[in-house]
Amino acid sequence: MDVTLKNLSETWWIEVCKKVKNAVVFIDGSMAECLHWHGGINRIFDSGALACKEFSSFESVPETHRKAVFIVGVAVVATAKAILRDIITAHQFHYCVVITAASAGVHMYAEKHEGDNDMAAFHHLENEILTWMRNKDYTVELFSFPLISVPITHTLFVMPPFKDMFPFSGGGSSEMTNTEFSKLPSDLRVGVLHLASSLQSILSQLDMQEDIYSMGNLSTIIANCLENHPLTPMRRKNATQRSTLILLDRHLDIASVSKFNLDNMLDRIRASLPPLPGHSCDVAVDMTPISISKQKQSISPGCLAHPESTVPVIDWLLSGKQKDVLFNLQKEVFDTIPTRNTPQFFKKQISSTFSGQWDLIINKCGILQQSLAVVESLTSANNTKLEMIVSIERLLLQSIAADNNTTGALQQFVTLIKTRHERNLSIDLLLTILVHLYSLIGTDYEIYADTEILVQTELAHAIYSDRDLLSDSVLNVIVEPDSKIESIEMFTRDIFSMLRRLSSSRNDLKRYKSLLRNEGPLQPLTLFRLIEQLIFDLLDSRSTFIPDLVTTSSNLRSGFSLLKRPAKHPMDNRNIIFFIVGGLTGHETRLLVESMTAAGKNVLVGSTRLLSPFDTLKLLIQSSY
């Protein structure tokens, strides 16, 4: 790919910065995350902004401010539109600029405007804004900029505006059991159109003429929307780069993202360190080792995002071995070949060299934060707990292989629940193990109802007993300190209903029903990731047809999209783009990039977000309530 997504994304942020001079900027969470990876808030101030505020009805600025710039990652409808109205009516702005990452077509659909002119929704919004400003002679500008992508590396990008899009509904009524766009909830339909439009924009900027393949119901719906996008025919006609776009639903393999992968440094960091507040990809790095003050609460956290750096640290985190990452970081930080290559020694060196030395810190600011993220993850007090979880998962799978059923493993899990305090296992960790187990075994092994009820009952009592300890849990929005046992039992029943649905999520697949590799009763079962299986088939010259990959084609007579078997092989094109709807891990990214690069392909891997096991659990709980 001659043009990088990073360069293209940067172009649009340059346009944003042209608009903010002498303005107060209101920015929503998803756009703030995108900006974080494109220079951060300092970039806005360096471009002449007077203030930067959260896009919220509760924010205000002095009445002397006359220009406002609003940057939002979603369509300006419903809640976003109400917030915009609240902010404008509470102030005396004479000049308003609204920048949205959603296209005019998405606004047309969301606002149910009719007609051939996609700009009608924007014109209507302009008039509404002038009304809120209380003077039709004031100035309003509306722009649709595709600010949706965060190029984390030259081969990996995420799209924060869609970080909560998850192709699984644990509740049942809104489960996506078919590929009909019209059956989706209305807000999800708008989100799907927005995502399809965003992918169309990326393909257009990369000069791509693509063949689209999909696996999973939501991915197929998105593929259909992209195929039927009004700009797709002209883009393909003029594009010069042949490419393959493969869309995958995350929920088909939850086992891979609920497993604690301690070998991949990026995954280890995201499992060990807390997320940067409001972010789906970055982490909060403790900076006290280089600060005079050792009060963690008084020091702003560091992070991984340093796009101005020429050192490919995130590439190292994605693909490097632990010792190689440590060696390279020490070499960059101290400009010498390290004599000892341990995280403890590296951390001690950083602290003794940089603590309170502001000139040195400023000179190495980015690489120091990234280095501290690595050493903190390798020396974290949580490592023993995470390693124990890995061992527990292995023992449970070994029990299933030896018994050829799940009864013994689930009885062992009951023991884990009862001894959770002695083992320092939180309810969240126990639920993460259950999620991993149910997704992994799928329908390969039957889970007997009486054993499952035993686990369910014990888990409900554990949640009730620990209800005062769940303030930092993903369950805290559901389980409160005064929750009654009856409501917790009902909640636990819902959790197991979700788990059963999760275990059957691959039932419609033909080749990829199982994620298990069974090497006999003396060996534990092991995870054979769906992405690994797909890569194997894509690279297998004997595999001319992959039944679980479907492609879309326009029916010119009826105007509908039909599913059909692909006439071409996905590997026929030199450019391969994978997009996982619902999130992916660093390990999966490494598998895709290294395998496709070895096959001589240009590869780009994208997703709605990065995932840790805790992120996965949170999204599953959210999708069920």
Output the domain CATH number for residue 596. 3.40.50.1910
Given 347, 362, 379, the domain boundary residue is: 379
pLDDT confidence of 518, banded at 50, 70, 90?
confident
Tell whether 515 is covered by a domain.
no
- Judgement on whether residues 436 and 496 belong to the same structural domain of the protein: yes
User: Total domain count for the chain?
Assistant: 4
Tell whether 50 is covered by a domain.
yes
Q: How far apart are CA 278 and CA 609, in angstroms?
A: 12
pLDDT confidence of 47, banded at 50, 70, 90?
very high
The confidence score (pLDDT) of residue 624 equals 76
Domain that holds residue 372: 274-379
- Judgement on whether residues 81 and 210 belong to the same structural domain of the protein: no
Tell whether 604 is covered by a domain.
yes
Which two structure tokens, joined as six digits, stand for 423?
């083992």
Which two structure tokens, joined as six digits, stand for 584?
């992916």
Given 147, 164, 189, the domain boundary residue is: 147
Q: What percent of the chain has pLDDT over 70?
A: 94
| pLDDT > 90? residue 53 | yes
pLDDT confidence of 223, banded at 50, 70, 90?
very high
Largest CA distance in the chain: 80
Tell me what the mean pLDDT of segment 463-470 comes to: 92
The confidence score (pLDDT) of residue 307 equals 87
Q: How far apart are CA 61 and CA 53, in angstroms?
A: 9
Q: Are strands 550-554 and 575-581 parallel, antiparallel or unpaired?
A: unpaired
Tell me what the mean pLDDT of segment 200-221 comes to: 95
Q: How far apart are CA 492 and CA 484, in angstroms?
A: 13
The confidence score (pLDDT) of residue 273 equals 95
The confidence score (pLDDT) of residue 175 equals 46
Indicate which CATH number applies to the domain containing 13: 3.40.50.2060
Answer whether 496's CB lies under 8 Å from 456's CB: yes
Q: How far apart are CA 101 and CA 55, in angstroms?
A: 14
Q: Using CA of residue 526, residue 531, residue 533, residue 539, what is the dihedral sign?
A: negative
Answer whether 160's CB lies under 8 Å from 30's CB: yes
| pLDDT > 50? residue 38 | yes
* Structure confidence by residue, pLDDT tens digits, 265-304: 999 999 999 999 999 999 999 999 998 766 666 688 999 9
Q: How far apart are CA 164 and CA 29, in angstroms?
A: 12
The closest alpha carbon to 101, from 72, 123, 126, belongs to: 72
- Judgement on whether residues 164 and 244 belong to the same structural domain of the protein: yes
- Judgement on whether residues 410 and 497 belong to the same structural domain of the protein: yes
| Mean pLDDT of the chain, nearest integer | 91
| pLDDT > 60? residue 42 | yes
* Structure confidence by residue, pLDDT tens digits, 110-120: 988 766 677 88
The closest alpha carbon to 27, from 48, 53, 51, 50, belongs to: 53
The confidence score (pLDDT) of residue 294 equals 61
Tell whether 266 is covered by a domain.
no
- With 0-12 / 13-18 / 19 or more C-beta atoms within 10 angstroms meaning exposed / middle / buried, residue 282 is buried
The confidence score (pLDDT) of residue 3 equals 66
Tell whether 555 is covered by a domain.
yes
DSSP states along 197-252: HHHHHHHHHTTEEEEEEEESHHHHHHHHHHHT-TTHHHHHHH--EEEEEEEEEGGG
Which two structure tokens, joined as six digits, stand for 520?
């006999």
- Judgement on whether residues 136 and 55 belong to the same structural domain of the protein: yes
- Judgement on whether residues 85 and 128 belong to the same structural domain of the protein: yes
The closest alpha carbon to 603, from 215, 8, 156, 281, belongs to: 156
- Judgement on whether residues 280 and 230 belong to the same structural domain of the protein: no
**b/e code 181-206 from CB counts within 10 Å (16+ = b):** beebeeebbbbbbbbbbbbbbbbbbb
- Judgement on whether residues 143 and 13 belong to the same structural domain of the protein: yes
Per the rule left: phi > 0, alpha: psi between -120 and 50, beta: everything else, 436 is: alpha
Residue 72: what are its φ and ψ, rounded to 5°? -130, 145
| pLDDT > 60? residue 170 | no
Tell whether 520 is covered by a domain.
no
Q: How far apart are CA 409 and CA 302, in angstroms?
A: 41
Residue 153: what are its φ and ψ, rounded to 5°? -135, -175
57-66: which pairs have CB atoms within 8 A and are 24 or more residues apart?
Answer: 57/82, 57/83, 57/86, 57/87, 59/26, 59/87, 60/90, 60/91, 61/24, 61/91, 63/91, 63/92, 65/23, 65/24, 65/91, 65/93, 66/92, 66/93, 66/94, 66/95
Tell me what the mean pLDDT of segment 171-182 comes to: 60
- Judgement on whether residues 406 and 357 belong to the same structural domain of the protein: no
Q: How far apart are CA 434 and CA 499, in angstroms?
A: 8
Q: How far apart are CA 147 and CA 567, in angstroms?
A: 34
The confidence score (pLDDT) of residue 555 equals 32
Helical H segments across 20-93, by residue range:
29-36, 41-46, 78-89
| pLDDT > 60? residue 470 | yes
Residues 6+ apart with CB under 8 A from 207: 3, 239, 240, 241
Tell me what the mean pLDDT of segment 400-406 comes to: 92
Q: How far apart are CA 122 and CA 116, in angstroms?
A: 13
| pLDDT > 70? residue 559 | no
Give residue for tokens 């959260």.
54
Residues 6+ apart with CB under 8 A from 325: 265, 316, 317, 374
Given 338, 358, 379, the domain boundary residue is: 379
The confidence score (pLDDT) of residue 373 equals 97
The closest alpha carbon to 147, from 9, 5, 29, 6, belongs to: 9
Residues 6+ apart with CB under 8 A from 24: 49, 50, 51, 52, 53, 61, 65, 67, 68, 69
Which two structure tokens, joined as six digits, stand for 487?
């409501």
- Judgement on whether residues 17 and 137 belong to the same structural domain of the protein: yes
- Judgement on whether residues 186 and 88 belong to the same structural domain of the protein: no
The confidence score (pLDDT) of residue 87 equals 98
Tell whether 522 is covered by a domain.
no
Higher-pLDDT residue of 545 and 203 is: 203
Beta pairing partners, 140: 96
- Judgement on whether residues 10 and 143 belong to the same structural domain of the protein: yes
Which two structure tokens, joined as six digits, stand for 230?
């009004």
Tell me what the mean pLDDT of segment 584-594 comes to: 97
| pLDDT > 70? residue 100 | yes
Q: How far apart are CA 334 and CA 324, in angstroms?
A: 16
DSSP-derived secondary structure letter, 142: E
Tell whether 583 is covered by a domain.
yes
* Structure confidence by residue, pLDDT tens digits, 341-358: 999 999 999 999 998 898
